[in-house]
Amino acid sequence: MERTLEDLLGEAASVSVAGWDFSWLDGRATEARPSWGYQRLMSARLKTATAALDIQTGGGEVLAEAEIFPPTMVATESWPPNIAKATALLHPRGVVVVATPDEPALPFADAAFDLVTCRHPATICWDEIARVLQSGGTYFAQHVGPASVFELVEYFLGPQPKARRGRHPDDEAAAARAAGLEIADQRTERLRMEFNDIGAVVYFLRKVIWMVPGFTVDAYRDRLRQLHDQIQQQGPFVAHSARTLIEATKP
Protein backbone atom coordinates (compact mmCIF):
# COMPACT_ATOMS: atom_id res chain seq x y z
CA MET A 1 0.00 0.00 0.00
CA GLU A 2 1.29 3.43 -0.93
CA ARG A 3 2.00 5.48 2.17
CA THR A 4 0.28 8.84 2.59
CA LEU A 5 2.02 12.17 2.80
CA GLU A 6 1.05 12.57 6.46
CA ASP A 7 2.39 9.10 7.35
CA LEU A 8 5.73 9.87 5.75
CA LEU A 9 5.99 13.33 7.31
CA GLY A 10 5.00 12.10 10.75
CA GLU A 11 7.51 9.27 10.74
CA ALA A 12 10.42 11.40 9.50
CA ALA A 13 9.63 14.25 11.89
CA SER A 14 9.68 12.00 14.96
CA VAL A 15 12.69 9.72 14.40
CA SER A 16 15.92 10.59 16.26
CA VAL A 17 18.58 12.47 14.29
CA ALA A 18 21.34 12.15 16.91
CA GLY A 19 24.77 11.10 15.70
CA TRP A 20 26.09 11.06 12.16
CA ASP A 21 24.70 7.70 11.08
CA PHE A 22 22.44 7.90 8.01
CA SER A 23 21.34 4.26 7.99
CA TRP A 24 17.69 5.32 8.46
CA LEU A 25 17.83 6.41 4.82
CA ASP A 26 18.73 2.94 3.53
CA GLY A 27 16.32 2.17 0.70
CA ARG A 28 14.93 5.70 0.84
CA ALA A 29 17.85 7.79 -0.43
CA THR A 30 21.22 7.20 -2.06
CA GLU A 31 24.44 9.20 -2.35
CA ALA A 32 27.48 8.30 -4.40
CA ARG A 33 30.74 8.27 -2.45
CA PRO A 34 33.95 10.12 -3.34
CA SER A 35 36.54 8.05 -5.17
CA TRP A 36 39.32 8.61 -2.63
CA GLY A 37 37.82 6.79 0.40
CA TYR A 38 38.34 9.28 3.24
CA GLN A 39 37.90 6.87 6.13
CA ARG A 40 40.52 4.46 4.78
CA LEU A 41 43.03 7.26 4.18
CA MET A 42 42.35 8.79 7.62
CA SER A 43 42.84 5.41 9.31
CA ALA A 44 46.21 4.96 7.61
CA ARG A 45 47.40 8.33 8.92
CA LEU A 46 46.21 7.59 12.46
CA LYS A 47 48.38 4.45 12.53
CA THR A 48 51.55 6.53 12.21
CA ALA A 49 50.54 9.53 14.35
CA THR A 50 51.65 10.05 17.94
CA ALA A 51 48.97 12.56 19.02
CA ALA A 52 45.84 13.20 16.96
CA LEU A 53 42.75 15.38 17.18
CA ASP A 54 39.46 14.76 15.35
CA ILE A 55 37.47 18.01 15.16
CA GLN A 56 33.66 18.02 15.15
CA THR A 57 33.53 14.24 15.39
CA GLY A 58 29.72 14.03 15.35
CA GLY A 59 28.67 10.81 17.05
CA GLY A 60 32.17 9.43 16.57
CA GLU A 61 31.04 6.95 13.92
CA VAL A 62 33.71 7.74 11.31
CA LEU A 63 36.56 7.95 13.80
CA ALA A 64 35.47 4.69 15.46
CA GLU A 65 36.06 2.80 12.23
CA ALA A 66 39.83 3.35 12.54
CA GLU A 67 41.70 0.17 13.34
CA ILE A 68 44.46 1.74 15.45
CA PHE A 69 44.59 5.01 17.40
CA PRO A 70 47.78 6.86 18.33
CA PRO A 71 48.88 6.95 22.00
CA THR A 72 47.06 10.29 22.41
CA MET A 73 43.67 10.50 20.65
CA VAL A 74 41.21 13.32 21.27
CA ALA A 75 37.91 14.27 19.61
CA THR A 76 35.80 17.42 19.92
CA GLU A 77 32.06 17.86 19.46
CA SER A 78 29.59 20.66 20.25
CA TRP A 79 26.08 19.16 20.00
CA PRO A 80 25.00 17.48 23.29
CA PRO A 81 23.29 14.40 21.73
CA ASN A 82 26.40 13.77 19.64
CA ILE A 83 28.71 14.31 22.63
CA ALA A 84 26.91 11.58 24.54
CA LYS A 85 26.95 9.21 21.58
CA ALA A 86 30.61 9.82 20.77
CA THR A 87 31.61 9.38 24.41
CA ALA A 88 29.84 6.02 24.64
CA LEU A 89 31.37 4.86 21.36
CA LEU A 90 34.93 6.15 21.73
CA HIS A 91 35.76 6.13 25.46
CA PRO A 92 36.00 2.31 25.61
CA ARG A 93 38.81 2.60 23.04
CA GLY A 94 40.70 5.23 24.99
CA VAL A 95 39.60 8.30 23.04
CA VAL A 96 38.91 11.43 25.08
CA VAL A 97 35.84 13.33 23.85
CA VAL A 98 35.91 17.05 24.67
CA ALA A 99 32.72 19.11 24.63
CA THR A 100 33.57 22.41 22.95
CA PRO A 101 31.89 25.00 20.71
CA ASP A 102 32.61 24.80 16.98
CA GLU A 103 33.99 28.32 17.10
CA PRO A 104 37.55 29.14 18.19
CA ALA A 105 39.54 28.71 20.24
CA LEU A 106 40.33 25.03 20.45
CA PRO A 107 41.01 24.13 24.12
CA PHE A 108 44.48 22.70 23.50
CA ALA A 109 48.03 23.95 23.80
CA ASP A 110 50.12 25.12 20.88
CA ALA A 111 51.74 22.28 18.89
CA ALA A 112 49.74 19.63 20.80
CA PHE A 113 49.10 17.32 17.82
CA ASP A 114 50.96 15.96 14.83
CA LEU A 115 47.68 15.08 13.07
CA VAL A 116 44.33 16.91 12.97
CA THR A 117 41.44 15.28 11.10
CA CYS A 118 37.87 16.26 10.34
CA ARG A 119 35.03 14.98 8.22
CA HIS A 120 32.49 17.57 7.11
CA PRO A 121 33.21 20.42 9.54
CA ALA A 122 30.46 22.97 9.99
CA THR A 123 33.08 25.68 10.52
CA ILE A 124 36.79 25.75 9.70
CA CYS A 125 39.17 27.88 11.77
CA TRP A 126 42.49 27.61 9.96
CA ASP A 127 44.40 29.72 12.49
CA GLU A 128 43.44 27.36 15.30
CA ILE A 129 44.21 24.25 13.26
CA ALA A 130 47.65 25.65 12.47
CA ARG A 131 48.22 26.63 16.11
CA VAL A 132 47.57 23.18 17.58
CA LEU A 133 49.62 21.40 14.90
CA GLN A 134 53.27 20.64 15.50
CA SER A 135 55.83 21.67 12.92
CA GLY A 136 55.68 18.99 10.24
CA GLY A 137 52.14 18.07 11.32
CA THR A 138 49.23 17.45 8.98
CA TYR A 139 45.60 18.52 8.68
CA PHE A 140 43.72 15.82 6.77
CA ALA A 141 40.01 16.27 6.12
CA GLN A 142 37.02 15.82 3.89
CA HIS A 143 35.03 19.04 3.60
CA VAL A 144 31.61 19.68 2.15
CA GLY A 145 32.26 21.42 -1.17
CA PRO A 146 30.57 24.40 -2.84
CA ALA A 147 26.81 24.42 -3.57
CA SER A 148 26.40 20.97 -2.06
CA VAL A 149 22.83 19.61 -2.40
CA PHE A 150 21.76 23.05 -3.59
CA GLU A 151 19.03 21.57 -5.77
CA LEU A 152 17.27 20.77 -2.48
CA VAL A 153 18.32 23.96 -0.69
CA GLU A 154 17.04 26.17 -3.51
CA TYR A 155 13.82 24.18 -3.83
CA PHE A 156 12.92 25.44 -0.36
CA LEU A 157 14.76 28.78 -0.17
CA GLY A 158 14.86 29.95 -3.78
CA PRO A 159 18.03 30.98 -5.67
CA GLN A 160 21.11 31.44 -3.47
CA PRO A 161 23.73 32.91 -5.84
CA LYS A 162 26.02 34.30 -3.13
CA ALA A 163 25.89 31.14 -1.01
CA ARG A 164 26.95 29.05 -4.00
CA ARG A 165 30.48 30.44 -3.64
CA GLY A 166 30.78 29.25 -0.03
CA ARG A 167 33.32 26.49 0.68
CA HIS A 168 34.95 26.92 -2.70
CA PRO A 169 38.20 24.92 -2.68
CA ASP A 170 40.21 27.88 -4.01
CA ASP A 171 39.02 30.01 -1.09
CA GLU A 172 39.77 27.26 1.44
CA ALA A 173 43.27 26.74 0.05
CA ALA A 174 43.93 30.48 0.26
CA ALA A 175 42.70 30.59 3.87
CA ALA A 176 44.88 27.62 4.81
CA ARG A 177 47.94 29.28 3.28
CA ALA A 178 47.14 32.54 5.08
CA ALA A 179 47.26 30.60 8.35
CA GLY A 180 50.74 29.33 7.50
CA LEU A 181 49.86 25.90 6.11
CA GLU A 182 50.97 24.39 2.81
CA ILE A 183 48.53 22.49 0.57
CA ALA A 184 49.82 18.97 -0.12
CA ASP A 185 46.67 17.61 -1.79
CA GLN A 186 43.24 18.94 -2.73
CA ARG A 187 40.50 17.34 -4.85
CA THR A 188 36.79 18.05 -5.31
CA GLU A 189 34.04 15.81 -6.71
CA ARG A 190 30.30 16.25 -7.30
CA LEU A 191 28.23 13.17 -6.49
CA ARG A 192 24.70 12.15 -7.39
CA MET A 193 22.05 11.91 -4.68
CA GLU A 194 18.50 10.57 -4.97
CA PHE A 195 15.63 11.03 -2.52
CA ASN A 196 12.99 8.35 -3.08
CA ASP A 197 10.29 9.72 -0.77
CA ILE A 198 9.43 12.89 1.11
CA GLY A 199 10.31 11.26 4.44
CA ALA A 200 13.92 10.98 3.30
CA VAL A 201 13.94 14.71 2.50
CA VAL A 202 12.54 15.63 5.92
CA TYR A 203 15.00 13.38 7.77
CA PHE A 204 17.94 14.79 5.80
CA LEU A 205 16.97 18.41 6.47
CA ARG A 206 16.39 17.73 10.17
CA LYS A 207 19.82 16.13 10.47
CA VAL A 208 21.87 18.49 8.27
CA ILE A 209 20.42 21.57 9.93
CA TRP A 210 22.46 24.19 8.04
CA MET A 211 20.94 23.24 4.68
CA VAL A 212 17.60 24.96 5.32
CA PRO A 213 18.06 26.86 8.60
CA GLY A 214 15.06 26.62 10.90
CA PHE A 215 13.50 23.83 8.85
CA THR A 216 10.35 22.25 10.29
CA VAL A 217 7.59 20.24 8.67
CA ASP A 218 4.99 22.81 9.68
CA ALA A 219 6.96 25.75 8.28
CA TYR A 220 7.42 24.09 4.87
CA ARG A 221 4.33 21.90 4.66
CA ASP A 222 3.11 23.37 1.36
CA ARG A 223 6.47 22.90 -0.37
CA LEU A 224 6.78 19.42 1.10
CA ARG A 225 3.36 18.50 -0.28
CA GLN A 226 4.36 19.75 -3.72
CA LEU A 227 7.63 17.84 -3.61
CA HIS A 228 5.84 14.69 -2.45
CA ASP A 229 3.54 14.95 -5.48
CA GLN A 230 6.52 15.53 -7.76
CA ILE A 231 8.33 12.43 -6.48
CA GLN A 232 5.18 10.36 -6.81
CA GLN A 233 4.70 11.45 -10.41
CA GLN A 234 8.27 11.79 -11.71
CA GLY A 235 10.43 9.56 -9.53
CA PRO A 236 13.28 10.36 -7.14
CA PHE A 237 14.34 13.94 -6.49
CA VAL A 238 17.92 14.24 -7.78
CA ALA A 239 20.56 16.48 -6.20
CA HIS A 240 24.35 16.54 -6.13
CA SER A 241 26.61 16.71 -3.10
CA ALA A 242 30.08 18.24 -3.30
CA ARG A 243 33.08 16.89 -1.40
CA THR A 244 36.62 18.22 -1.10
CA LEU A 245 39.58 16.19 0.14
CA ILE A 246 42.27 18.43 1.61
CA GLU A 247 45.66 17.69 3.10
CA ALA A 248 47.62 20.64 4.50
CA THR A 249 50.93 20.55 6.33
CA LYS A 250 52.59 22.89 8.81
CA PRO A 251 56.18 23.66 7.76
For 145-164, give one letter per residue: b (16+ CB within 10 A) or e. bbbbbbebbbbbbeeeeeee
pLDDT computed for residue 1 by the predictor: 63
Q: Measured between alpha carbons, how far is 249 from 251 in angstroms, rounded to an integer? A: 6
Residue 234 burial (CB < 10 Å; 0-12/13-18/19+)?
exposed
pLDDT computed for residue 182 by the predictor: 98
pTM of the shown model: 0.89
* CATH code of the region 5-249: 3.40.50.150
Q: Give the chain's residues under pLDDT 70.
A: 1
pLDDT computed for residue 33 by the predictor: 96
What is the maximum span of the chain, computed from C-alpha positions, in angstroms? Answer: 61
Instruction: Give the pLDDT confidence of 110-147 residue by residue, as tens digits.
Output: 999 999 999 999 899 999 999 999 999 999 999 999 99
In the chain, where the domains are located: 5-249
